[in-house]
Structure 1
Amino acid sequence: MSDRTAVTVRIAGEEHAIRSAAPPEYTRRCARLVDERITEIRRRSGLVEGHRAAILAALSITDEFFQAQEELERLRAVVAERTEAVVERLDGALGGVE
């Protein structure tokens, strides 16, 4: 079992102790993104209520995640297609040389 390290982070003006197997700097980076997104939502919409801003931030981050997943799948398909084309060209150029 991996060691879990406690890291204190500040999100939306509140301190939270997060225990994670991830490196502390990674946990801080994740917390910064959430905090920045909540701050941005509050600034743009005038929302003060933390719970609602946190939900909107989670939805925004999830949307970005799903878009990135879709782009990754698209790029994987492009790479597979191009790899197959290169292999076919090499096979043709080698003309059955073994």
Structure 2
Amino acid sequence: MSEEAPRTSIRVEIAGEWYTLRADADEEYTRRCAALVDERMSAVSEQAGVTAKNAAILAALSLSDELLRQQSRVEDRLRALTARIEAELEGLD
């Protein structure tokens, strides 16, 4: 049976609210994730009339957009590298 890393509890502040998170990741990584969410929510909250709920949704959309764009770049690069490898392998035949 494989041993799982212990889940750690960590308190983080996001948009002025404190949250206790239980995470498999190490504490520093979890704090970095929380800080990124806090930064995005703060940036969105600077707009007049944005509620906390809307700020959270807009921050999530911003982070999702960034993630999907990065995934697309990685997939494009992987396709290009795969094509190069296949071309090199064909040249060996």
Paired position in structure 2 for 1:2: 5
Structure 2 Cα separation of the partners of residues 78 and 47 of structure 1: 45
**Displacement, 1:65?**
1.0
**Displacement, 1:46?**
2.2
Between 67-76 and 18-27, the greater mean CA deviation after superposition: 67-76
Where in structure 2 are there 5+ consecutive unaligned residues? Answer: none
**CA offsets 1:25-59 (integer angstroms, 9 cap, x no match):** 1100000000000011112x224421110111001
SS of equivalent to 2:5: coil
Contact 1:20 1:27 in 2 (8 A): yes
Q: Matches of residues 35-74 of structure 1 in structure 2 within 5 Å?
A: 35-43=38-46, 45-74=47-76
Paired position in structure 1 for 2:84: 82
| 1:16 to 2:9 alignment | no
| 1:29 to 2:32 alignment | yes
Paired position in structure 2 for 1:96: none
Structure 1 Cα separation of the partners of residues 45 and 52 of structure 2: 9
**Number of residues paired by the alignment?**
90
TM-score normalised by length of structure 1: 0.84
TM-score normalised by length of structure 2: 0.88
Where in structure 1 are there 5+ consecutive unaligned residues? Answer: 93-98
Larger radius of gyration: 1
